[in-house]
Amino acid sequence: MGRSYDSRWSLHGMTALVTGGTKGIGHANVEELAGLGAKVHTCSRTESELDDCLLEWKAKGLHVTGSVCDVSDRAQRESLLNTVSSEFNGKLNIVINNVGTNIGKMVSDYTAKDVAFLTSTNFESAYNISVLAHPLLKASAAGSIVFISSIISTKPAYFAPIYGANKGAMNQLAKHLAYDWAGDNIRVNTVAPAVIKTPLAQRYFFWQFFEGHEELIETAVSRTPIGRLGEPEEVSAMVAFLCLPAASYVTGQLIYVDGGMTTNGIYFPHKKIKNTMSCVSLYVVGKL
């Protein structure tokens, strides 16, 4: 019984592909899955970054390999999946479609080139990687795909309309794949983070928009009941859960990892709440 229970919470013997695994949430996903026992293959467009990460993971005793790949390019996607198939003997348990990027503009300012680039990177790559991986996932007899979306897929955000639309399409794609591939014993789910402390968030939120506007950061935090921004490891923990045998009855779901931001609360001034509660407590015990 003990061994059976433990196996539900382990990825030992499983294989995984994580796209864009050298930074932010992708990096956290690689470490989370490998830390739970999976053999992981990841990719990056930048060879030097990939090499540095591979050395880091080797030093940590994690079983991670990698390829240089731009997943928006058809030939490179196909080469990546051929490598994965060869490395894992034609079987794959897990695919994490993590790659994503943004160009910060108002909706009317995007060029056709901008839209094509964002759509090919954020949506089409995830769709095509999933389709290419389908035979390998089916061959494993226990497959799981997780798409990394965003709360912007369901809530509008400043300077990210095409990114949000791409992620919304991803949400819907995941539901269709969950329906179509359930008979192949492949589960498909989506994780939608809020603002997480990653290079992408720093580039498009902090550096570009929040520099010198600390009140904007405070506003974002004030709309989050937990009262802070998220960490990559808090997203990767949910991703890993969805890949575990323990999640065997979970498919077709969109799960927010957002500190409660999508509860549609309006304002959560934590300092004021704490001060107010202190006053209430003092009043209750007869101190005021």
CB 139 within 8 A of CB 90: yes
288 pLDDT more than 50: no
**Cα dist. 212→3, 124, 197, 207 in Å?**
54, 36, 18, 9
Q: What span, in angstroms and rounded, lies between the C-alpha atoms of 115 and 118?
A: 5
Residue 266 falls inside a structural domain:
no
Residue 191 falls inside a structural domain:
yes
* DSSP assignment letter at 40: E
Residue 116 falls inside a structural domain:
yes
Residue 265 falls inside a structural domain:
no
* DSSP assignment letter at 203: I
Which ranges constitute the DSSP H helices of the chain? Answer: 2-7, 24-35, 47-59, 74-87, 112-119, 125-140, 161-181, 199-201, 214-222, 232-243, 270-284
In terms of pLDDT, which residue wins out, 226 or 278?
Answer: 226
Q: What span, in angstroms and rounded, lies between the C-alpha atoms of 109 and 114?
A: 9
Indicate the number of domains in the chain. Answer: 1
**Locus of tokens 């061994």:** 3
Residue 208 falls inside a structural domain:
yes
Just list the catalytic residues.
Answer: 163
CB 188 within 8 A of CB 174: yes
Summarised one tens digit per residue, pLDDT across range 177-226 is: 999 999 999 999 999 999 887 665 555 444 444 455 566 667 778 888 88
Residue 263 falls inside a structural domain:
no
Q: What span, in angstroms and rounded, lies between the C-alpha atoms of 92 and 17?
A: 8
pLDDT band for position 18 (50/70/90)? very high
59 pLDDT more than 80: yes
Burial of 115 (0-12, 13-18, 19+ CB in 10 A): middle
Residue 174 falls inside a structural domain:
yes
Q: What is the pLDDT of residue 173?
A: 98
- The model scores a pTM over 0.85: yes
Residue 267 falls inside a structural domain:
no
Q: Dihedrals φ, ψ of 128, to 5°?
A: -70, -40
Range of the domain at 59: 8-257
User: CATH code at 122?
Assistant: 3.40.50.720
When the pLDDT of each residue in the chain is averaged and rounded to a whole number, the result is: 88
